[in-house]
Structure 1
Amino acid sequence: MRQLIYFGWEQAKSCLFPVIIFLSLAATQMVNVPGIARYDIIFLICIGTQLLMFLLRMETVDELKVIGVFHLIGLALELYKVHMGSWSYPEEAITKVFGVPLYSGFMYASVASYMCQAWRRLHLQLTHWPPTWTVILLSAAIYFNFYTHHFVYDIRWILKAVTLLLFLRTMVYFTVRTSTYAMPLSLAFVLIGFFIWIAENIATFFGAWSYPHQQQQWEVVHLGKISSWLLLVIVSFLIVALLKHLKEKRSS
């Protein structure tokens, strides 16, 4: 029980940036600030949080770089998905480009923030990591499938099968205080994807964005979205792991 509590505390600290985003979504939904659009306030909170976390040394320079990369990757995907009508941001704001508020990129970056923080706090180690070139190809295929499935066959299930085969032997080891535990990396993907789906329901409830079936009133996000988040988690984890792997090679 003591180990579980410590593990939960380390996870909670790793989730600081996502939690602040959720709190800002809830607070701005309930409290209206005259003269400032809600999306603009959330964007300023995200910027201020990242700056404060860096100044307080809660994030390293490398972690800040990763978060910046994920903000751009996520923002590009948001611009495309909103254009295709997958979801929408109905409120007006100054920090809104082609129908997408700039804070939306931070929601993707918050996933990367959690992974970087948890990696450092729990001293993650990977075994039986597949060849780097296969990981790069898989990451690219998963990411671009989010774009291409609007026009050609959606290969997400093929990509999931390839992921399972590629990481069948890969184990992730994490340390809680002085004890080290292990789990299959594929299981870690599924668990993180499920919890992000729960977070997505909370986010849509507070009006972070709306799916077409939520335009009239809020409804639970379709279970099928777990599949999309699972793929996004895989891409996020693979990019973070690749960056850490490359850094280790440079320093060795």
Structure 2
Amino acid sequence: MHPRGLTPVEARIDRAARRLLDRSGQRRSEARRRWVEFLVFGAKQAWACVFGGALIVLILLSRLVYPADAPIARDDALTIAAVLVQVLMLAFRLESWREFRVILLFHVVGTVMELFKTDVGSWTYDGEGLLRIGGVPLFSGFMYAAIGSYLVRVHNLFDLRFAHYPRRWLTALVAGGIYVNFFSHHWLPDARWVLLALVVLLYARTVMHVRIHETVLQMPVLVAFGLVALFIWIAENVGTWAGAWRYPSQLDGWHLVGPEKFVSWYLLMLISVVLVTWVYRPRAP
């Protein structure tokens, strides 16, 4: 394993980026060097999204080109393809076993929530197939695993550090409350706004330090939560348009997922971060 837990491919990407940026600093203007660092930042972000991006492509292809009379149900084909992507990433060392542990944990946590939410009718899967538990196709767990994959990759690729990170037991306590509320709000008063306020209080002073090369960007963690939640919301709209799953309001025709789901994804970010910090302890700048 390479420094910062990078896989061999990520280490090569990092070395190539450093060489490019070193040359930029020696031969070009400061503005040009900053531009190169921006491109490297984008390239690393794209690599961090490789697992989630592969899933989105598979879901879109299943809508656009998968034949209706195929011998394998579309949901089963998606599950097989997702497993194959995961196996290939491990086999070619594009993902470390340490990362896989986090991803597997996301898979389990997400599948449990999927089983409950589909049972109470929060959303439905229309497809058929054998690779499912109740009404939940097994590929659904990979969508949560993609979030874990992204968070682990950005942690390593950008050598993330955190100023004023709250005590982990407090973050775990709030994350546990958020997870319970995803279930309990069907019978008890919805506490999401109280929980959102607690998240804001917890992370109000926390600043994330993102190292590209010579440049270290600083961003409030609350802003980072919002940006990731926004991209998840966009991916959710792609998934529902492709018919991978649907909300009750979309059964008569597709439309954009309501902005209220953004709050749910924002709260899910704390659960996601807590799961990652069990494996990668937050470090100070």
Structure 2 Cα separation of the partners of residues 226 and 163 of structure 1: 15
CA contact (8 A) 2:160 2:209 kept: yes
Partner of 1:193: 229
Question: What secondary structure is seen at the aligned counterpart in 2 of 1:243?
Answer: coil
Contact 1:174 1:182 in 2 (8 A): yes
Asked whether the equivalents of residues 174 and 195 of structure 2 are also in contact (C-alpha less than 8 Å), the reply is yes
Q: CA deviation at 1:230?
A: 0.6
% of aligned pairs identical?
36
Contact in 2 for aligned 1:174/1:180 (Cα 8 Å): yes
Query: What is the CA-CA distance between 1:243 and the residue it aligns to?
Result: 2.3
Task: Pick from 159, 166, 177 the counterpart of residue 141 of structure 1.
Answer: 177
Counterpart position of 1:218: 254
1:22 is matched with: 56
1:231 aligns with 2:246: no
> Does residue 81 of structure 1 match 2:113?
no
Partner secondary structure for residue 244 of structure 1 = coil
Between the aligned partners of 2:57 and 2:205, the Cα distance in structure 1 is: 38
Instruction: Please tell me whether the aligned partners of residues 175 and 181 of structure 1 are also in contact (alpha carbons under 8 angstroms).
Output: yes
Structure of greater Rg: 2
User: Which one of 12, 15, 22 corresponds to residue 46 of structure 2?
Assistant: 12
Tell me how far apart the structure 1 counterparts of residues 277 and 161 of structure 2 sit (CA, whole Å): 10
Q: Structure 2: state its 5+ residue gaps.
A: 1-34
Please give the alpha-carbon distance, in whole angstroms, between the structure 2 residues aligned to 1:168 and 1:99: 40
Contact 2:171-2:270 at 8 Å conserved across structures: no
Residue matched to 1:169: 205
> What is the distance in 2 between the residues matched to 1:160 and 1:216?
32
Partner deviation per Cα, 1:34-77 (whole Å, 9 max, x = no partner) = 20111111111111111111122111111100100110100000
TM-score w.r.t. length of structure 2? 0.84
Report how far residue 234 of structure 1 moved: 1.6
Alpha-carbon offset, residue 179 of structure 1: 1.2
Distance 1:168 1:81 in 2: 31
Root-mean-square deviation (CA, aligned residues, Å) is 1.3
Letter of the 1:17 partner, please give it. F
- Count how many residue pairs are aligned between Structure 1 and Structure 2: 247
In the alignment, structure 1 residue 91 sits paired with structure 2 residue 124: no
Contact 2:168 2:274 in 1 (8 A): no
Give matches, 1:25-36, under 5 Å. 25-33=59-67, 34-36=70-72
What letter is aligned with 2:164?
H
Structure 2 contact 233–262 (Cα < 8 Å) conserved? yes
Contact 1:139 1:239 in 2 (8 A): no
Q: Give the partner amino acid of 1:18.
A: G
Q: In structure 1, the residue corresponding to 2:93 is in which secondary structure?
A: coil
Give the distance between the partners of 2:278 and 2:204, measured in 1 at CA. Answer: 18
Q: Which runs of 5+ in 1 are unaligned?
A: none
Structure 1 residue 241: Cα displacement: 2.0
Instruction: Tell me how far 1:178 sits from its aligned partner.
Output: 2.2
How far is the alpha carbon of 1:229 from its aligned partner? 0.6
**Distance in 2 between the 1:213 and 1:28 partners?**
22
1:117 corresponds to: 153
- Matching residue's letter, 1:105: G
- Which residue type is aligned with residue 11 of structure 1? Q
TM-score, structure 1 length as denominator?
0.95
Secondary structure of the corresponding residue to residue 279 of structure 2 = helix
